[in-house]
Structure 1
Amino acid sequence: MKYNFDEIIDRRNVGAVKWKGYDEIIPMWVADMDFKAPEEIIEAIKSRADEGTFGYTYLNKQYYNAIINWVEKRHGFKIEKNWIYSTPTIVSALYWLIQTFTEVGDKIIIQTPVYHRFKGAIEDNGRMVLENPLKELEGKYYMDFENLESNIDSKVKMIILCNPHNPVGRVWSKEELIRLGEICLKNNILVVSDEIHSDITFKGYKHTPFASLGNEFAENSITCISPTKTFNLAGIQVSNIIIPNENLRKKFDNTMKLNAMGDINIFGIIGLIAAYEKGEQWYREMLYYIEENYNYMREYIEKNMPMIKVTKLEGTYLAWVDFRALRMNSKELKRFLSEEVKVAFNEGQLFGGNGEGFQRINFACPRKILEEALFRLNIGINNCKTWSEDV
């Protein structure tokens, strides 16, 4: 491999949120990687910084072409320049999308367990969350279409789709997305598809952009993408909102103007172009490395801690792990992991009520860090008295 993903980088003194306040504890929670970004991106940013001028910067043809070419090559989805709106983050864009296309008191569907900022964006804007819990069957999650249809009423205006799904790691199939899309068309529900993890899929699985499934679905959807998860660039804040429907674009454009949005961090522009134009090899090696990390983790847990269960992942670098066999409530489990095991994961209930008893584990880190975390977990669980075959 050209790139060294085994390199351990001390992130404690660079303002990294993930490592803030963690000295003895191994943090494996927030969704960024502990890998150095590709040298090609670092060099591009250094070169631009060396120019020494940091005035107002426009989005040029190279920026748009980098996005268009990457999405078409990776996912077979041909987008057009005028469909693209650039925003600092997808979360900020979600707030503006909710404000643009729904009213106070409207209902917005999310499928739990799901990224917790969806719920926050809905409630912060005075809208109502309508949960459509995913169904778990033999360690795999599925959309519950029957429950979804039975709970739709005239107040439901939008669904926020997580594709691939964070935290359960599903890469939704074409058939699943088509069925969801047909339900939304029938009930006049706008699909906002968060596809920030779209590049991170495992062998045998392929991401399907929701809007690529046909013109009707494209016209009734908005797609959110970013290079930040793929290339570990969250701190430079750059994302893109894809809106094929002209009428929807006009409405969103008005919201952007009302919020004085439109300028992107200069290093976000440089980072995105370098990532999409020069990051191919790093990206492929990263995918191989994290899938090997996942396989190692799954096998280690199955061998040494069979009482906890790792959900089979199809994509993302976030494992969804079932700790319910330990017979601890959320408070007890949090204390056990932080104080006795000395690891920090994301608590499952953060992602919805059906996440109780689970933990989300970020395994995008050097193997030695993962090994140490699993070793600590193994010692802690096998010394734990709350679980027993005899209880």
Structure 2
Amino acid sequence: MNHFENVHDRTNTRSVKWDMRQSVFGADDVVPMWVADMDFQAPQAVNDALIKRAEHGIYGYTVIDQDVRDAIINWISKRYNWTIDGEWLSFSPGVVASLHMAIQALTDPGDNILIQTPVYTPFYNVIEAHDRTIVKNPLKRQNNHYGIDFADMEEKLKSGVKAFLLCSPHNPVGRVWTEEELREMARLCLKYDVLILSDEIHADLIYPGETHIPMATLSDDTASQTITFMSPSKTFNLAGLQASYIITSDKEKRDMLDQQLEKDGHHMMNTMGNTALEAAYRHGEQWLDDLRNVLDNHRAYVIRRLEGETDKLHVTRSEGTYLLWIDCTALGLDRDELKTFMNQTAGVGLNPGANYGEEGDMFMRMNIACPHETLQKGVDRILKAVHNLD
């Protein structure tokens, strides 16, 4: 696992995370721990496959053939014990693009769409950009742990909601929903005939002792009501290659979605994304298992230091994703001051919690998918800045 400790210079590679530090944070020496990609190289098998494909030197239109579909089918079967049909698969450059397509294909302008806040920032945009209405079902926080307010959820669904945009595992709070929680969400959506759009892009990135359960596996009725969005992009650090897929068992919904994907020109993956997806799913399993151990150690390190060396920061113990949700309320700053404090005073580029909804005002989101040297540098800077406040 030593390759996860190698520090790679990502500057001057057109990296959003590293090369936009000046424009985003106002300084080039910020330790960037924000946008959700990793500072780790992809599995060697992926790099080898891309190099081999590049050596061919011709990049014409590329078909998504049965080999690629089989790689997905086998991955889903092995990791989630879910048997899917290759016909259920649709493809697009990314999960966010797919969500835009699904909203347009399967809901109408003016429809209410429910989200559980604080939540991944693009969820707001994919609803509002198409003249749909956001309905919030805020998560309940108790003892630094988030749960679902099912009474509120039912009231909202009862009042007329067309679709529920589920984040599973949840970004940014890091919940991996239990089977009991998933079943209750599914029960309510079936009761009120609410479409479930389940973003499961972080499904592979869960911590020891946790189990990700795809929503669509709960029952045949739930499957027919659910569209699942997945990708190897977070798992294997392939976001820039733009490869994702959608699983829809209900043919009518799938046909409507496919028509929208084709209409908007989002029904393909690029040549390199196609190649990387297959290689990652066929040969990346050991790499992923090693990565999860690294992330588990990083999570423990951040919690131990931030909570052990100051009483001003409280870290939500993420069950999935490589993102940590940090409660900074005790610093006594407002949300603008908090952003300035972390990004400029401490010199660590974090995502302001306010970006995920008003429920995140006093929080910051930290990306821990980096070599330990980078992680330690960021934590040291934060603690130094906090101690200087005293």
5 Å-filtered alignment, 1:50-61, equals: 50-61=55-66
Q: What's 1:230 paired with?
A: 235
Following superposition, which runs of at least 4 residues in structure 1 exceed 4 angstroms of deviation?
none
Q: What's 2:277 paired with?
A: 272
The CA deviation string for residues 252-302 of structure 1, in whole angstroms up to 9 with x for no partner, is: 122123223322100001000000001111111111001101111111112
Instruction: Please state if 1:39 is matched with 2:44.
Output: yes
The CA deviation string for residues 63-120 of structure 1, in whole angstroms up to 9 with x for no partner, is: 0000000011001111110000010000011111000111111110000011010011
- CA–CA distance in structure 2, aligned partners of residues 16 and 262 of structure 1: 26
Q: What's 1:6 paired with?
A: 5
- CA–CA distance in structure 1, aligned partners of residues 149 and 373 of structure 2: 39
Instruction: Please state if 1:217 is matched with 2:216.
Output: no
Identity between Structure 1 and Structure 2 (%): 40
The CA deviation string for residues 232-251 of structure 1, in whole angstroms up to 9 with x for no partner, is: 00000000010000111121
Instruction: Please state if 1:123 is matched with 2:122.
Output: no
5 Å-filtered alignment, 1:144-223, equals: 144-153=149-158, 155-223=160-228
- CA–CA distance in structure 1, aligned partners of residues 101 and 327 of structure 2: 34
Q: 1:154 to 1:138 in 2, by over 3 A?
A: closer
Q: What's 2:309 paired with?
A: 304
5 Å-filtered alignment, 1:1-391, equals: 1=1, 3-22=2-21, 23-153=28-158, 155-385=160-390
SS at match of 2:4: coil
Amino acid at match of 2:70: N
The answer to whether the Cα contact below 8 Å between 2:230 and 2:246 also exists between their aligned partners in 1 is yes
The CA deviation string for residues 31-57 of structure 1, in whole angstroms up to 9 with x for no partner, is: 000011111100100001101111111
- CA–CA distance in structure 1, aligned partners of residues 322 and 223 of structure 2: 28
- CA–CA distance in structure 1, aligned partners of residues 80 and 310 of structure 2: 37
- CA–CA distance in structure 1, aligned partners of residues 115 and 310 of structure 2: 32
- CA–CA distance in structure 1, aligned partners of residues 29 and 60 of structure 2: 42
Amino acid at match of 1:214: S
Amino acid at match of 2:212: H
**Aligned-pair Cα RMSD in Å:** 1.0
- CA–CA distance in structure 2, aligned partners of residues 4 and 86 of structure 1: 31
- CA–CA distance in structure 1, aligned partners of residues 193 and 159 of structure 2: 9
Amino acid at match of 2:8: I
Amino acid at match of 1:316: T
Could you tell me which runs of 5 or more consecutive residues in structure 2 were left unpaired when the two chains were aligned.
22-27
- CA–CA distance in structure 2, aligned partners of residues 211 and 195 of structure 1: 11
Could you tell me which runs of 5 or more consecutive residues in structure 1 were left unpaired when the two chains were aligned.
386-391
SS at match of 1:5: helix
The answer to whether the Cα contact below 8 Å between 2:354 and 2:361 also exists between their aligned partners in 1 is yes
- CA–CA distance in structure 1, aligned partners of residues 262 and 65 of structure 2: 20
Amino acid at match of 1:152: L
**TM-score, length of structure 2 as denominator length:** 0.97
- CA–CA distance in structure 1, aligned partners of residues 136 and 126 of structure 2: 14
Amino acid at match of 2:230: I
- CA–CA distance in structure 1, aligned partners of residues 181 and 214 of structure 2: 12
SS at match of 1:224: strand
The answer to whether the Cα contact below 8 Å between 2:326 and 2:364 also exists between their aligned partners in 1 is yes
SS at match of 1:152: helix
Amino acid at match of 1:263: M
Cα displacement (A) at 1:153: 4.3
Amino acid at match of 2:135: L
Cα displacement (A) at 1:155: 3.8
**TM-score, length of structure 1 as denominator length:** 0.97
Number of aligned positions between the proteins: 384
